[in-house]
Amino acid sequence: MSSDDLDYEKLGLRVGLEIHQQLNTSHKLFCNCRTVLEDEYKMTLERYLRPSISELGEVDIAALFEWKKGRKYIYRISTNSSCNVEADEEPPHPINDEALKIAIAIAMALKSTIVDEIYVMRKIVIDGSNTSGFQRTAIVALGGILEDEGVTIQTIAVEEDAARKISEDPEQVTYSLDRLGIPLIEISTGPDIKSPEQAERVALKIGQLLRMTGKVKRGIGTIRQDLNVSIRGGTKIEIKGVQKLELIPLIVKYEAMRQLNLLKIKEELNRRGLTKEQIISNYIVKDLTEIFKNTKSKIVKNGIEKGSLVYGIKIYKFKGIFGWELVPKRRFGTEVADYVRALAGLGGLFHSDELPNYGITEEEVNKVREALNVSEYDAFVLIVGEKEKLEKAIETIKDRVLMALDGVPKETRGALDDGTTKFLRPQPGAARMYPETDIPPRIVDEKLLEEARKLVPESPEIKIKKYMSLGLSEELAKEIIRDPRLDLFEDLVNKYSPKVPPSIIASTITNTLKYVKSKGGDISRISDDDIEQIIKNLYDGKISKDSITEILLEYTLNKDLSIIDVISKYEILSNDEIEKIIDEVIKTNMDEITKRREKAFNIIMSKVMGKVKGKADGRIVAELIKSKLKNLLE
Amino acid sequence: MLEGYRGKAYEILSKLNIEVGDLIEVRKGDMVIKGILLPSYSKDEKIIVIKLDNGYNVGLSIENLSEIKLLAKASKKIITSEEISPKKGKSEVKIISTGGTIVSKVEYETGAVRPALTTEEIIQFLPEINEIANIEAEILFSILSENMKPEYWVKIAEAVKRAFDEGNNGVIIAHGTDTMSYTAAALAFSLQSLQGPVVLVGSQRSSDRPSSDSAINLLSSVILAKYAPFGEVVVNMHAESSDTYTLAHRGVKVRKMHSSRRDAFQSINDKPLAKIFWKERKIIINRDDYIKRKEETKLDSKFDERVFLLYYYPGLKSEILEFIISNFKIRGMIIAGTGLGHTSSEYVEIFRKATKDGIFVGMTTQCLFGRVNMNVYTTGRQLLDAGVTPLEDMLPEVALVKLMWVLAHEDDLEKIKQIMTTNLVGEINMRHSLDLFPRWSHE
């Protein structure tokens, strides 16, 4: 499969987004803890979760999946950012009105229909990320539209953020409780997005709208996008945890490509006339440890030394399928290996399309073929591990192989940094929500609506016009609108303009930071407070606007200095001090001056500016030099 | 059925022949909303509650809806469940349900949580039980723990006696947590000779949620009921907030000390009898002075409710006390006094009169921790002189339950005094070591 551009219209690409944004409320959604992440903890809790049985005797498939792992969950009790509510030791308090107001304001901006009474639901999640075993979530509004993209909104909900994962291994997962309960707004769009680029654009626009309320959190992990992607004949696949906006187009493209190739595999298997019954009745499993007793393959050898067994499995008429590349660097075999890792706890598998390799020799491969009676049309798989895990893996591989005949299995996948995705778990069924009976329903009354109206963000067009009237160029206005620090900009303009022109504040936040980054500065070090310090010093006349870039560069390149330290190095020089420098430069350059007379100004100016390094306003320096030269030459 | 609906919403829905469970479609502004009508649990009678197909519930005011349509009547679901059957064989552990939801099922469609109490349902909820013991479940009644009464204690005690007579190794009583320690005390005085453990168990997080403590509490109770060497009434609940182990507290020395935590139950002025590690299926006996299993279970369950528990506070009007004594014909009173066992000296004469009239007046401390000692201060000595009986380290509630039991058996005040101050089943601990007081965090 080439990675040439796909014809998305022909493929019938449909993408929906789910955007989760943390709200910057004074306290959490269901308790009075602050909404600040914190690494400090003094205690931990150990817990287990088990799915509850429903009336129909059915246990949710995703819930059961986690339960079968039998994992222990360890929670770090964050000292200041968690209480008995996060520890699941106290019933939730009534829902935070501040969060509701923000969500309603967003709903108003998106022309959604606000419900008349809000019901908090429990959504079963038993991967440990919620101490209760469910996430509390409530729909605030239905419908709506992102007008300029023609993309519909399905629901707007508020929900509690999950606990923050610290570490994970097959036996246990460690979480911090600091993040649990921070209010999130969840905006789900309809599957109306038709191209990878549009997906990014829609995410950007919704993110922008959210930031324009001035009530959302900023920084890594505060906004998360989930994608729902399908193509015609494929399946709606949930892709979780996309944190970088720029990655969205690639993820969508790869997912379309993956589904297309899975459909092609299905076609190919049909062409071969393969049926599920044939695969099952020819599914031969054998203990082949004996063949690998003296293997040179390190992975296999290490396994056997630790008491692992090597099993071979014949997959009837599957030649070439395991090696089929779905997206760059991921083959059908990788998909099956993901299942084995997630569901059976094995490290992975070897398949016949990639062997001999990894130290497994031709001779060993031939012995395996013989033992399993593998013909030239068949494939085989080798798995290494403890007996119990192998038993699970045998079933898992069979299940996944059979799914290939149906095309694209329904999955929840996780986004990886290179734009590809991997299997996380089967998609949860719909039947995993029930009311949170500890929280009374909240009537959406006129008072709540009234207060929400005050938070409705202005449209970007109106904002751009407003900023241009403050003296920003159109380009800069558009840039600041797109910037995550938009609310900081507004805050600083309120506090420090007109003495500090808004255009300087805007370009500091946008262009200057970009420049500093291009020069190798670590801009993650720059906090809002740092930027405010600089603007404040500019306002107080202590520094010159010309020194902003230098200050930020030095601050981001030299991690030992505080912003205050750096700023003090750039404090404006008094006129006396500047004159002293000028006198010195003139003294050492008398030859040039006598030779070039007035034309020596440029040389003197550049030398003086080099010495004051942004600690003086260029205009003042120029005037002082001019008058001194004039005096000297008269 | 239009459960929970009233007023205008009821009127409109019933006119349209819409019932709970039906699929309906409504229009609010431009928005068409489809879903299943749920029972109303709103305070506002204009609200109708709809479950959307994504599982969420929303409330919509009937006044804001321009259209309401019935799409389909509710379909009766066929209940199919994977049957996990109880182990065959003679029952070894009897589980008696009195209420509360130690085991429950969620009906996701309506959100209803229904207690699951039959033997089959309990096994389905907790299949691991099959690996430990043959069980048999009995639903005695289904009442909230706050509605418990002494007459129910008698019924529970009788059911325990029956269960042992049937040959069970131990008995589990599923009970709401609020008044669990009262029931535990009542059973302890009623069943002073037991063939095995009587384990009261409940949950602080309801069993419909994945984080519930009920599964671990119940599982460890089965282990305890079958294997523990004692013939005592115990409360078995989480020992810590973590899901590590549970504690079997002596039923007459335990108290619910937190409104919501899993480890709310703690022994006061006493150490728990045993630790139970549910994962390892192991019991660690904490002390050797437990009451051993007896040959026979003897039942003597009678309670006289003509008693009163007085929580003393500064400013308590003596008229209130006189009113209670004269109007309700009480036969005994327990005082939760201050400190070492005091009330204001103003009451000395009231108590003197009461005891002269044959009313038992016993003193405990509202400090809960520690023992009363009425010889230290003048007021204490005056109260003693007035006939008030110091009750050592007995918890006020335990003393009250014991008094009900004693009064049902004795008329003579001196006899009553003597039994009240005699340790019957471990309710009085004459030796307090320094470690019997919790360490609070000072950070």
- Phi/psi for B245 (5° steps) reads -155, 165
Judge whether residue A631 has pLDDT over 60: yes
Token pair for A436: 């949170």
- Cβ A60 vs Cβ A51: under 8 Å: yes
Q: Which residue has the tokens 């709103």?
A: B42
Closest CA to A436 of B35, B176, B57: B57
| Residues of B known to be catalytic | 101, 177-178, 256
- Cβ B321 vs Cβ B351: under 8 Å: no
Residue B84: per-residue pLDDT: 59
What is the percent of chain A with per-residue pLDDT over 90, rounded to a whole number? 68
Among the three residues A268, A292, A327, which one is the final residue of a domain in this structure?
A: A268
- Phi/psi for A190 (5° steps) reads -70, 170
Residue B443: per-residue pLDDT: 74
Q: Same CATH topology for B87-285 and B307-420?
A: yes
Please state, in angstroms and rounded to a whole number, the distance separating the CA atoms of residues B226 and B200. 14
Among the three residues A548, A569, A590, which one is the final residue of a domain in this structure?
A: A569
Q: Are A110 and A205 within one domain? A: yes
Residue A124: per-residue pLDDT: 84
Please state, in angstroms and rounded to a whole number, the distance separating the CA atoms of residues A193 and A186. 18
Q: What is the mean pLDDT of residues A123-132?
A: 90
- Rounded to a whole number of angstroms, the distance from the CA of A361 to the nearest CA of chain B is 45
- Cβ B135 vs Cβ B218: under 8 Å: no
The dotted CATH code for B307-420 is 3.40.50.40
- Rounded to a whole number of angstroms, the distance from the CA of B110 to the nearest CA of chain A is 7
Contact B55 A137 (CB under 8 A): no
Q: Are A69 and A211 within one domain? A: yes
Q: Which residue has the tokens 């094995």?
A: A346
Q: Are A255 and A138 within one domain? A: yes
Please state, in angstroms and rounded to a whole number, the distance separating the CA atoms of residues A624 and A630. 10
State which residues form the domain around A553: 460-569
Q: Which chain B residues are Cβ-neighbours of A84 within 8 angstroms? A: 260-261
The dotted CATH code for B7-72 is 2.30.30.520
- The reply to whether A439 falls in a domain is no
Residue A548: per-residue pLDDT: 92
Contact B28 A113 (CB under 8 A): yes
Question: Which tens digit of pLDDT belongs to each residue from A12-51?
Answer: 999 999 999 999 999 999 999 999 999 999 999 999 988 7
Token pair for A352: 């016949």
The string over A253-282, giving b where at least 16 C-beta atoms fall within 10 Å of a residue's C-beta and e elsewhere, is bbbbbbbbbbbebbeebeeeebeeeebeeb
Residue A388: per-residue pLDDT: 86
Question: Which tens digit of pLDDT belongs to each residue from A289-323?
Answer: 999 999 999 999 999 999 999 999 999 999 999 99
Token pair for B115: 């207690």
Which amino acid would we find at residue A333? G
Please state, in angstroms and rounded to a whole number, the distance separating the CA atoms of residues A489 and A470. 12
Pick the more confident residue, B147 or A613.
Answer: B147
pLDDT bin (cut points 50, 70, 90) of residue A65 is low
How many folded domains does chain A comprise?
A: 4
Bridge partners of residue B343, in order along the sequence: none
Q: Are A557 and A612 within one domain? A: no
What single-letter DSSP state applies at residue B43? S
- Rounded to a whole number of angstroms, the distance from the CA of B102 to the nearest CA of chain A is 12
Residue A2: per-residue pLDDT: 45
Which residues of B240-386 form beta strands (DSSP E)?
246-250, 254-256, 265-267, 274-277, 282-285, 307-311, 332-337, 360-365
Alpha helices in B330-377 (DSSP H): 348-356
Token pair for A27: 């306290």
- Indicate the SS3 state at residue A141: strand
**Best A43, A52, A439 residue to mutate vs chain B (most B CBs within 10 Å):** A52
Contact B106 A126 (CB under 8 A): no
Residue A56: per-residue pLDDT: 40
- Rounded to a whole number of angstroms, the distance from the CA of B394 to the nearest CA of chain A is 29
The angle subtended at Cα B404 by Cα B400 and Cα B406, nearest 5°, is 110
Residue A84: per-residue pLDDT: 97
Question: Which tens digit of pLDDT belongs to each residue from B177-194?
Answer: 999 999 999 999 999 999
Please state, in angstroms and rounded to a whole number, the distance separating the CA atoms of residues A484 and A9. 32
- The reply to whether A445 falls in a domain is no
Contact A155 B54 (CB under 8 A): yes
Judge whether residue A122 has pLDDT over 80: yes
Please state, in angstroms and rounded to a whole number, the distance separating the CA atoms of residues B412 and B400. 18
B432 CB-contact burial (10 Å; exposed 0-12 / middle 13-18 / buried 19+): middle
Q: Which chain A residues are Cβ-neighbours of B49 within 8 angstroms? A: 117, 119
Q: Are A25 and A162 within one domain? A: yes
Q: Which chain A residues are Cβ-neighbours of B54 within 8 angstroms? A: 155, 430, 433
Contact A55 B114 (CB under 8 A): yes
Token pair for A615: 């600690």
- Rounded to a whole number of angstroms, the distance from the CA of B244 to the nearest CA of chain A is 7
Q: Are A186 and A52 within one domain? A: yes
Please state, in angstroms and rounded to a whole number, the distance separating the CA atoms of residues A529 and A59. 49
- The reply to whether A485 falls in a domain is yes
Residue B358: per-residue pLDDT: 96
Contact A116 B64 (CB under 8 A): yes
pLDDT bin (cut points 50, 70, 90) of residue B78 is very low
Token pair for A232: 């015609």
Cα distances (Å, whole numbers) of residue B81 to A54, A429, A432, B74, B125: 10, 17, 17, 21, 12
Strand A411-415 with A421-426, pairing: antiparallel
Please state, in angstroms and rounded to a whole number, the distance separating the CA atoms of residues A482 and B247. 58
Bridge partners of residue A330, in order along the sequence: A327
- The reply to whether A559 falls in a domain is yes
Contact B210 A437 (CB under 8 A): no
Contact A115 B107 (CB under 8 A): no
What single-letter DSSP state applies at residue A123? E
Q: Which chain A residues are Cβ-neighbours of B241 within 8 angstroms? A: 45, 87, 89
Residue-averaged pLDDT of chain B = 92
Q: Are A81 and A218 within one domain? A: yes
Question: Which tens digit of pLDDT belongs to each residue from A545-560?
Answer: 888 999 999 999 988 8
Q: Which residue has the tokens 């009425």?
A: B374
pLDDT bin (cut points 50, 70, 90) of residue B76 is low
- Indicate the SS3 state at residue A433: strand
Judge whether residue B79 has pLDDT over 60: no
pLDDT bin (cut points 50, 70, 90) of residue B89 is confident
Question: Which tens digit of pLDDT belongs to each residue from A155-175?
Answer: 999 999 999 999 998 789 999
Please state, in angstroms and rounded to a whole number, the distance separating the CA atoms of residues A87 and A76. 9
- Cis bond leading into B390, ω under 30°? no
Please state, in angstroms and rounded to a whole number, the distance separating the CA atoms of residues B340 and A258. 77
Token pair for A344: 């059976």
User: Looking at the partner chain, which of A115, A143, A430 has a beta carbon nearest the beta carbon of B55?
Assistant: A430
User: Looking at the partner chain, which of A63, A119, A432 has a beta carbon nearest the beta carbon of B59?
Assistant: A119
- The reply to whether A425 falls in a domain is no
Q: Which chain A residues are Cβ-neighbours of B208 within 8 angstroms? A: 52, 434
- Cβ B385 vs Cβ B345: under 8 Å: no
Contact B108 A55 (CB under 8 A): yes
Which CATH architecture best describes the domain B87-285? 3-Layer(aba) Sandwich (3.40)
- Rounded to a whole number of angstroms, the distance from the CA of A93 to the nearest CA of chain B is 13
Contact A119 B52 (CB under 8 A): no
Question: Which tens digit of pLDDT belongs to each residue from B358-386?
Answer: 999 999 999 999 999 999 999 999 999 99
Judge whether residue A64 has pLDDT over 80: no
Q: What is the DSSP string of A201-227?
A: HHHHHHHHHHHTTT-B--STTSEEEEE
The ranges assigned to domains in chain B are 7-72, 87-285, 307-420
Q: At what angle do helices A248-271 and A332-339 cross, to 10 degrees?
A: 100
Q: Are A233 and A276 within one domain? A: no
Judge whether residue A593 has pLDDT over 90: no
Q: Are A166 and A312 within one domain? A: no
pLDDT bin (cut points 50, 70, 90) of residue A143 is very high
Q: Are A174 and A306 within one domain? A: no
Pick the more confident residue, B21 or A381.
Answer: A381
Q: Which chain B residues are Cβ-neighbours of A53 within 8 angstroms? A: 105-106, 116, 124-125
Contact A47 B262 (CB under 8 A): no
pLDDT bin (cut points 50, 70, 90) of residue B101 is low
Closest residue in B to A54 (Cα) is B106
Closest residue in B to A440 (Cα) is B42
Q: Are A18 and A102 within one domain? A: yes
Closest residue in A to B33 (Cα) is A142
- The reply to whether A447 falls in a domain is no
Contact A142 B58 (CB under 8 A): yes
- Cβ B140 vs Cβ B97: under 8 Å: yes
CATH number at residue A291: 3.30.1360.30
Residue B112: per-residue pLDDT: 67
Token pair for A14: 């449909």
Contact A54 B107 (CB under 8 A): yes
**Best A48, A54, A55, A108 residue to mutate vs chain B (most B CBs within 10 Å):** A55
Hey, which of A219-223, A588-592, B156-160 has the most confident mean pLDDT?
B156-160
Strand B23-28 with B67-72, pairing: antiparallel
Q: Which chain B residues are Cβ-neighbours of A56 within 8 angstroms? A: 77, 79-81, 107
What single-letter DSSP state applies at residue A316? T
Closest residue in B to A133 (Cα) is B210
What is the torsion angle, in degrees rounded to the nearest 10, for the CA atoms of residue B208, residue B211, residue B212 and residue B217? 140
User: Looking at the partner chain, which of B44, B108, B124 has a beta carbon nearest the beta carbon of A117?
Assistant: B44
Q: How many residues does chain A have?
A: 634
Question: Which tens digit of pLDDT belongs to each residue from B268-321?
Answer: 999 999 999 999 999 999 999 999 999 999 999 999 999 999 999 999 999 999
Among the three residues A551, A569, A587, which one is the final residue of a domain in this structure?
A: A569
- Indicate the SS3 state at residue A502: helix
- Cβ B100 vs Cβ B144: under 8 Å: yes
- The reply to whether A441 falls in a domain is no
Q: At what angle do helices A575-588 and A618-633 cross, to 10 degrees?
A: 50
Please state, in angstroms and rounded to a whole number, the distance separating the CA atoms of residues A14 and A2. 21
Token pair for B158: 């009788």
Judge whether residue A431 has pLDDT over 60: no
Q: Which chain A residues are Cβ-neighbours of B77 within 8 angstroms? A: 56
Residue-averaged pLDDT of chain A = 91
Q: What is the mean pLDDT of residues B223-231?
A: 97
Q: Which residues contact A461 (CB under 8 A, 6 or more apart)?
A: none
Q: Are A558 and A629 within one domain? A: no
Please state, in angstroms and rounded to a whole number, the distance separating the CA atoms of residues B164 and A197. 73
pLDDT bin (cut points 50, 70, 90) of residue A249 is very high
- Rounded to a whole number of angstroms, the distance from the CA of B242 to the nearest CA of chain A is 5
Query: Given its phi and psi angles, is residue A348 left (phi above 0), alpha (psi -120 to 50 degrees) or beta?
Result: left
Interface A–B counts its CB contacts (< 8 A) at 160
Q: Which residues contact A23 (CB under 8 A, 6 or more apart)?
A: A35, A98, A99, A102, A103, A158, A182, A183, A184, A185, A215, A216, A217
- Cβ A91 vs Cβ B260: under 8 Å: yes
pLDDT bin (cut points 50, 70, 90) of residue A66 is low
- Rounded to a whole number of angstroms, the distance from the CA of B285 to the nearest CA of chain A is 23
Q: Which chain B residues are Cβ-neighbours of A433 within 8 angstroms? A: 54-56, 108
Contact A63 B210 (CB under 8 A): yes
- The reply to whether A438 falls in a domain is no
